[in-house]
Amino acid sequence: CVTLDAQAACQDAVVTQELLKEGFHRDLLVKVELGVLGENAGGCTVAARSHLPPGVYVDPYELASLQQQNLTKVVLIPDAIDVEAPEYLATGVLVLLYMEPDPWCSHCFRAVLPVHGRYHRPAEESEEALVVLKSPEVLVCCCDSHLSGGCWKPAEVEAPCSGKNTGSCQWYSVTHKPAYVESILQVPVGLRQHSSLVCVVTLLTTVLCSSLILAAVCKYGRFS
């Protein structure tokens, strides 16, 4: 059971997020420092709720594999995601990322979410598109106790407190200070002036490959 006084509960959390790796396939590292609450958060679950823009996506099949290995726990809304759609045909997704205690910090929590950049329209000048990932909202759920203090704001979240619970429970939004307001993912894009060259090379490659396949069929194929 967790007992929190109003003054302790109202202390701001600190949120940081960092993009790891390079290219289209990245890992989003989210860290939350809860101060007094974190040191007394036994029986509570901490989660980060992020609104990912259409420029990135989360692969539900990859997440299912990671969750089977107990490497992560995530709730996606909606849970059906078109991983092949380009940025201009995709929609954003709401992610609830469950966090684990940081072994190096007694009042800190962390989690890693694999994210992937989508293909963007060709640009006029820049060879990179910028995808802004805003700071997530910090949520706390204490299923075995009640949080006191008027500064806790109930949040509408249809998700269990932990993997052990099947039903939804009451989550609360935590006032927090993002160390960085946003993270920026740089996605490589093509240039429009290269469109003609790309079309010609693609057409020639298609004709060449089709000719090689047809020649192989005529030479080695058996026709009745």
Has residue 3 been placed in a domain?
Answer: no
Q: Is residue 162, in this structure, part of any structural domain at all?
A: yes
Pair (141, 202) in one structural domain: no
One domain for residues 104 and 185: yes
Same domain assignment for residues 100 and 196: no
* pLDDT tens readout for residues 7-21: 444 566 788 899 998
Low-confidence ranges of the chain (pLDDT < 50): 1-9, 149
| Structural domain boundaries enclosing 152 | 13-190
Q: What is the pLDDT of residues 44-91, one digit of tens each?
A: 788 999 999 999 999 999 998 988 888 888 888 887 899 999 999 999
Six token digits for residue 133 = 């990932």
* Pairing verdict, β 171-174 and 44-52: unpaired
Q: Give the predicted TM-score (pTM) of the model.
A: 0.75
Nearest to 193 by CA among 124, 126, 127, 120: 124
Kindly state whether residues 162 and 206 are assigned to the same domain. Answer: no
pLDDT at residue 14 in the model: 84
Buried b (16+ CB within 10 A) or exposed e, 28-45: bebbbbbeebbeebeebb
CA distance 215 to 219: 6
Residues 197 and 103 in one domain: no
Output the pLDDT for position 29.
93
- What tokens were used for 21? 């790796």
One domain, residues 120 and 58: yes
Identify whether residues 20 and 73 lie together within a single domain. yes
Residues 199 and 129 in one domain: no
